[in-house]
Structure 1
Amino acid sequence: MIMVEQSQVWIGSQDSNIYIINTHSMSCNKQLNDHRSDVTDIIVQEEWPSEAYSSSLDGTVIAWNISTLKVNRVFQLPCQNLTSVKLHNDQLWCCTGSCILVVSTHEFQLQLKIEHHLKDVCSYFLCFQLFPERYEVWASYSGSSDLYVWNTKDFSRPPQKIHLQDCSEITCMIRVKNQVWVGSSARLQGKSKGKIYVICAEKKSVEKELVGHADTVRALCSAEDRYVLSGSGREEGKIAIWKAE
């Protein structure tokens, strides 16, 4: 879900459609139906000419003309399980289960591939975050309580590892100022809980551990870098609001 040009909210759905809500009338009278699988992410390029990019689980990336709602370009990644995309300097960073792919936004040419490096062949990339000004990409794997940080200038070097205590699996992460907020499922006193770790991006150390959910933290959203909203899984289904400091 993302705000587009202050008057629309685009919502990706598991039914392969993108629903467009008019923020003035609060009605949904438009939808985009060019995807053929679950829509997993939507991002917007703010610079002119502005475009929106949507991704789906089958590895498809579509570039949209925001004004006309028509398809500008379509690209099929060489692998599936595409879970999220991020935009930086005319490059799309695409997170799939087995790797992170970097493609150009203009011609969708493959420029970089970050391979899955764990020995456990059953694990896969879950989520990632870019720190371009620090030349870093942060990523997590399924079933792992560790964050991995690569230097984007030299991927031949092994990634730095940040271990999260009492964490079962890292499920989501966002940037908030110079911090990374990490949502997870955790085991506390033998019970499953949702836990948020606040990590200093510079020191690579955990500054705070926040427990406010009785189920896995599934989503994190920053509100003007002042507040962070966290949403939990279906067993609890609650949203918590945290003050970012």
Structure 2
Amino acid sequence: MKANPVCVRHVQGIINSLSDLERTQLEQKGLYKGGPMERKTMLGKLRRMSTEIDRGQGLIIALDFDQLPQRDVDLHEFSKHIRLLDIAVDSEVIERLFQSLTLEDTNYLDPDTFSIFYDCWKETHENNKNTELDNNRVACQLPEDCLTREEGVLKVSKLIRCDLGTGRLILTHKRTGDRTEEVVRIRDIQNLEKFQHNTVLTSADALKIYSKVDGQSPFSAILKEERNQWFMLVQELWCGRNIAEGTKDSQVVHQAAQNVLLINAVVLSGEYDECAHYDGVEQAAENLCYFTKRRKEGKDNLPEATTEITVKVICVVTVDNSKGDNRSSPLLWCAMGSGQVKVYDASTWICDQQFIQANNRVCCLLAVGTDQVWAGSFDTTIYVIDIHTHTANKQLLDHVDMVSDLTISQDGSTVYSASLNGQIILWSAATLQKQGQIWLKNVHRLVSIKLVGDNLWCCMKKSLMLVNREGETLHTLEMKDEGNSPLQIECFLLSQDGMIWAASGNSGRLTVWDSHSYSLVKNINVSCRGFSKMVQTHGKVSFVSYNVKPVQEGHL
């Protein structure tokens, strides 16, 4: 059977344009009898039939039905469609969604299930973006100023009875509420409880939400057949919020909200018997409750050792700008491989919407005084960023190769910048004028520098070199493996007790020298593929390794 191209192209648009009276009349016709499942199935078939149109007569018709699959798809094809439709991008989320829709009974998903799920997800997603909701064609309107900028509607219940009377329960990214009245914020939830609301004649499924806010009474809602779904959605968002606070990762909240939208779409599509997960909707939905499972497994916080190290490291790299304005929170400045410099509020971990964009990768940052952050880039430029305006209106252009590192004198008056070709420039921190220059001979990979008095320790990958202000070499240190073969040095630091710590980038080797006598103190072997960074905090040296394991520590 061939689909009528005009019908295929316009049927959904015509249906959406009907008035309430016309829509009611249409529902009495044979095409619409049987409920929403048949309507969704009909549209799904029209989508697939549209690909069968014969284009051999010179007639080109552009039909775009969101490029849904026309045949059974495996996980690989499913992932491509999910990303193309902008439903999800994370591989693990997509795999969990595939397992939910197939109930892990098969390696393929049929196009009918995909089509109905997509219709349900699209409806849910549109509700998330709008403050005017149409739930079972009963308008539930929210005032424009009711939601914050970061907030969207995730779920609206059917008409229910609750402690506030008769209305609709609404779930957003931040709270639950009844129309315009807030019930409880997600972060303030203490516990959720399923219970039976019993009267003399009836018994109904209900949900009770306990708040940890002093003086706030538990909130009860009689949700009937929606009770288990609401329990699941609120719990996933609540667990996501707790994990976000425990791990200091605000993105978890957005991921939990995405899970809520997916769970809701899976439950709605599971009401149609053409879907593969029709007989296991609850199991399919539970499979998507990722943060609920993590919290039950006790993975809602970082390990104590990691938390301690992370807090200490953050304190080292934050910039205190309290003298510049009334901001009380410190800022965390992050250099990105894309060339961006992003700024986070270190108390809320919210990223500032404004960022600085360099022409190439930014590889080093340095706080200069209380008003500036300097950023060295692979485009040979040093960007001088104003802390208060987050703009880089000044640039230093004297380097002729990639800027690899920045450091500052103890009194804060002079900034030293290094580039890969061995060029080191001295700058006045106050005037941004060039004060001097050091050229290291036969150097092609100067990756980092450390200032000691009037001298500089320079890392050239193959060795560490101590040089004076004239560029003369005072001493050289090389890192060796157990067979006395040279190792590349990825990073180094000068500890407070006068030791030089160096770490290899291609092995788990650490070497410690005395900075006064230059004698070898010890070699340390760690089970990893190499190190990328190290930092000294409170009598310990912490190392970041390449094998995605917890941060290593070494005592001074």
TM-score, with normalisation over the residues of structure 2?
Answer: 0.33
C-alpha deviations, 1:204-238, integer Å up to 9, x for none?
xxxxxxxxxxxxxxxxxxxxxxxxxxxxxxxxxxx
Between structure 1 and structure 2, the one with the greater Rg is 2
Q: Of 490, 495, 501, which aligns to 1:126?
A: 490
Q: Deviations over 1:144-195 (max 9, x none)?
A: 101111122333x445111212x11111101112110101111xxxxxx254
Paired position in structure 2 for 1:199: 554
Q: Compared with structure 1, are the counterparts of its residues 10 and 194 closer, same or farther at alpha carbon in structure 2 (3 Å cutoff)?
A: farther
Cα distance in structure 1, aligned partners of 2:516 and 2:371: 38
Q: Where does the alignment leave 5 or more consecutive residues of structure 1 unmatched?
A: 187-192, 202-245
AA in 2 matched with 1:176:
T
Confirm or deny: 8 A CA contact 1:185 1:195 kept in the other structure. Answer: no
**Does the Cα contact within 8 Å between 1:80 and 1:97 map onto a contact in 2?**
no
- Looking at structure 2, the residues matched to 141 and 147 of structure 1 have their Cα atoms a distance apart, in angstroms, of 7
Match of 1:136 in 2: 499
Q: How many residues align?
A: 189
Matched, 1:171 2:508: no
Matches within 5 A, 1:25-40: 25-40=389-404
CA contact (8 A) 2:406 2:449 kept: yes
Q: CA 1:28–1:153 in 2, change beyond 3 Å: closer, same or farther?
A: closer
Q: Which has the higher contact order (CA 8 A, sep 6+)?
A: 1
Q: Which residue of 1 aligns with 2:459?
A: 95
In the aligned structure 1, how far is the partner of 2:517 from the partner of 2:533? 25
The one-character-per-residue Cα deviations of 1:94-128 (angstroms, maximum 9, x if unpaired) are: 111221111224x343222213444445x411111
Gaps of 5+ in 2: 1-364
Offset, 1:38 = 1.3
Q: Partner of 1:160 in structure 2?
A: 522
For residues 9-158 of structure 1, the aligned pairs below 5 Å read: 9-47=373-411, 50-78=413-441, 79-105=443-469, 107-118=470-481, 119-120=484-485, 123-131=487-495, 133-155=496-518, 157-158=519-520
Amino acid in the other structure paired with 1:112? H
Q: Which residue of 2 aligns with 1:184?
A: 545
Distance 1:194 1:15 in 2: 32
Measured in 2, the distance between the counterparts of 1:147 and 1:163 equals: 6
More strand by share: 1
> Structure 2: how far apart are the matches of 1:27 and 1:44?
21
> Any runs of at least 4 consecutive aligned residues in structure 1 with deviations exceeding 4 A, and if so which?
none
1:61-120 deviation digits (Å, cap 9, x = unpaired): 111111221211111112221111111222211111221111224x34322221344444
Please report the TM-score for the alignment, with normalisation by the length of structure 1.
Answer: 0.72
CA contact (8 A) 2:375 2:383 kept: yes
Taking the aligned partners of 2:490 and 2:403, their CA distance within structure 1 comes to 16
Give the SS at the match of 1:72.
Answer: strand
Residues 439, 471 of structure 2: 8 Å contact kept: no
Which region of structure 1 is more displaced relative to structure 2, 109-118 or 52-61? 109-118
